[in-house]
Amino acid sequence: MDGYLSTPDAISMELGEDYPELRDSVRRVCQRFPGEYWRKLDEASGYPTEFVDELTRAGFLAALIPEEYGGSGLPIRAAAVILETINASGCTASPAHAQMYIMGTLLRHGSAEQKQRYLPGIADGSLRLQAFGVTEPTSGSDTTKLKTRAERQGDHYVVTGQKVWTSRALHSDLMLLLARTTPLDKVAKKTDGLSVFLVDLRDAVGNGMEIRPIDALINHNTTEVFMDGLKVPAENLIGEEGKGFRYILDGMNAERILVATECLGDGRWLLDKAVEYAKTREVFGGPIGRNQGIQFPLARCYAEIEAADMMARRAAALFEAGAPCGSEANIAKMLASEATWHTAEAALQTHGGFGFAREYDIERKWREARLYQVAPISTNLILAYVGQHVLGLPRSY
């Protein structure tokens, strides 16, 4: 079984509001970007360039990059605190969060030359690595069945295929791309034959690559990417050819932990707004919060958020210690996404009709919270993971 049932005794985690100075610094940045800023971006389907630039200048997005490459070298829990605080302050971390963790594949599996070439720029923000080309229209979550091909021709690879839901590709300089370098029918295991490339979008777009925006429920600047004869230098292959699937997988735990805590930030913001409204909104001669129909759902949301927070902290502690944490990271993401979705529903219900008014920002956070049930991994996939890898049940179909 996975490490979920056998946590090493020596690993500990801090409770309460950890990293208080870091939280205060993030809050000060967020104060300059109120709800009105985000509502205007929604109207224009815009990208929060000013906000991302502020986070970059403050060094928040380089939290996980080692100091030798210009980053802060902080533990994953500190990075999680940054994302949580952004969302708990009413802002939205998702337009920038990928800059924080996509580089992990490069950091863990890239060559010394690649790391020295790219990581300092990613750390100071002069290079944006925010796009991750994995999902495809026909294969969806079945990554081993992806159809994008990369064929070696001399000193470069020629890439042909399509990616979808590739967020921020139009606002990135670099994209991490997963492609099949050996046909599926020629590998011993279906997870073999996949390779990871670092694609320079500044050269690629218009030279074998086209990027088209997707109009969606939430403003994540997501796109679909078309590649036809795209040339990628062989030196941009990360690690060994054919081992890309495992390179991608070992970055998933970090992503799950960070997104889980990001969820919790939204949940805390929504709960605070709902509680405040329930205390001050008076109907039938008193505050609506005295009614059990309002009070009990909010109390349950608080309990769910606190429980999910504990699992997220546990997953982060295991990750930092280098211990197995696949089940904890996945469960943390599932519990946090569900707690946040329940809180979004309760907050909207508490506000009644005003919950639909854009000026309250409840509907904006409600839309964000719904995404977490689907991406970056759906609840059902996590349940399948736990059933098979933790409980040892047969593989489901």
Annotated active-site positions, please?
255
Strands 174-180 and 129-133, bridge-based pairing: parallel
- Spatial neighbors of 36 by CB under 8 A, at least 6 apart, are none
From the number of C-beta atoms within 10 Å of its C-beta (0-12, 13-18, 19+), residue 37 rates as middle
Which residues partner with 163 through β-bridges?
Answer: 225
Measured CA to CA, the distance from residue 295 to residue 286 in angstroms comes to: 13
The β-bridge partners of 196 are 178, 238
Q: Nearest 5 degrees, angle CA 95-CA 199-CA 195?
A: 105
Paired tokens of 223:
């796109």
Instruction: Look up residue 255 and give its two tokens.
Output: 């992503």
Tokens 């909207």, residue?
348
> How big is the CA angle at 257 (ends 374 and 173), to the nearest 5 degrees?
75
Residue type, 296: F
Residues written for the chain: 397
Could you tell me where the DSSP H helices lie in the chain?
20-30, 35-44, 49-57, 76-88, 94-101, 103-109, 112-124, 201-204, 244-280, 292-320, 326-351, 362-371, 379-385
Residue 370 CB neighbour total at 10 angstroms: 16
Q: What is the largest CA-CA distance in the chain?
A: 79
Q: Residue 363 is encoded by which pair of tokens?
A: 């509907």
